[in-house]
Structure formats: C-alpha cells, structure tokens
A and B are shown apart, each in its own frame.
Chain A
Amino acid sequence: MELLPFVGLGMVATVLVLLLREERPELASLLSLAAGVMILLLLMDRIATVFNLLQQLAFRAQLDLLYLNTVLRIVAIAYIAQFGSQICRDAGESAIGGKIELAGKILIMFLAVPLMLVILDSVLQLLP
C-alpha cells in the first residue's frame, strides 16, 4: 500500500499538533506547516510521472507545448496558493489566506489571457 505513509504521517502530526496547541500555538502551526510540506514533497514524484504522461500525450496529439506549459503553470499556482491559504486559515489568519487566494487568482488570469486571445482569434477566423 502506497497510501500508508501519508496516513501515518498525517495522524502522527495531528496528535503532536494537538499536544502543542495549548502550550505553544506558534510551534503547533509551524509543525502543521512542516507536515503539509512533507506530504507534498512525498507526492512530487507521482505528480512528475503524471505530467510526463500528459506531455507525451500532447506530443502525440501534436499540440503546441506552449499551451501545455501554461496549463501546468496554472495547476502549480492553484496548488501552492491553496496550500498557503489553508496554512494561514489554520493559524487563524483568514484575512491573509484570502489575500493569498486573490493573488493566485490574479496570476492565473494573467497567464490565461494570451490563451483567451488565441481562442478569440480562431473564432474570428471561422466567422465569415
């Protein structure tokens, strides 16, 4: 079972965070941050495999790699913004978490505008 390390790490970290939360809330939130980063680091190999597969598929479909790279960047921004905002929310700072999410949304829109222009151009070419 490949799931077991994640579940074990999460449960042990949860118990330790509960132990620390009353006495040292700042260390408890740092501990939960470390646990989250560790789980994401463990997942990175699998994510890399999935993305290599996606890239092979795009290559086979003769898609422009620029589009795929844009999509990958958007996925990365979404994951990391969600991670950071959840950490902030857990520590009770939902205002800062909301600002992180806003930054993620704006960066995603910034990356997606060129693709929207391409779509608009191709629609305009289809119209007589």
Chain B
Amino acid sequence: MDFDLIFKIAGIGILISILNTVLHQAGKQEQAQMLTLAGVVIVLLMVVQLINQLFTAVRTVFRIY
C-alpha cells in the first residue's frame, strides 16, 4: 500500500499556500486564484483514482456486479 499519496497531497497543499502568499504579495490576485484552482483539480484527480480503486474492491468483495 502506498502511503505516499497522503504526503503528496499535504506537500501540494503547503506548496500552494506558500505560492499563494507570494502571488498575493506581488499583487497578482487572479493568478493566485488560478493556482488554487489548479491545486484542487490535481489533488481531486489523485483522490478520484483512489476512490475508484476502493469502489472496485468493494464490488468484488461484496459480490455486487
């Protein structure tokens, strides 16, 4: 099992919050907003793959076809 995903998500979150602060200080509010959106989309893609894995496992274990 890969525990890396937890650390990956947390790392992306910390990185994005730091970059967000930098962009806000530089007065680029729109790009900070876009950065937030991109981060959420990337993390959401990873989490959706994990959820798909879980649902496939549940289908096989509980014999729901």
Q: Which of B34-65 contact A (CB under 8 A)?
A: 36, 39-40, 43-44, 46-47, 50-51, 53-54, 57-58, 60-64
**A69 interface residue, CB < 8 Å from B?**
yes
Residues of A within 8 A of B36 (CB): 24
Nearest residue, chain B, Cβ from A17: B10
Pick from A5, A37, A48, A80: contact of B50, CB under 8 Å: A37
Known: A12-B6, A41-B1, A72-B62. A27 touches B39 (CB 8 A): yes
User: A37–B6 Cα gap in the complex (Å)?
Assistant: 11
State the majority secondary structure of interface residues on B: helix
User: A40–B20 Cα gap in the complex (Å)?
Assistant: 33
Residues of B within 8 A of A37 (CB): 47, 50-51, 53-54
Are A44 and B50 in contact, CB atoms less than 8 angstroms apart?
Answer: no
Mark A24-43 against chain B: 1 for CB-CB distance below 8 A, else 0.
10111011011101101110
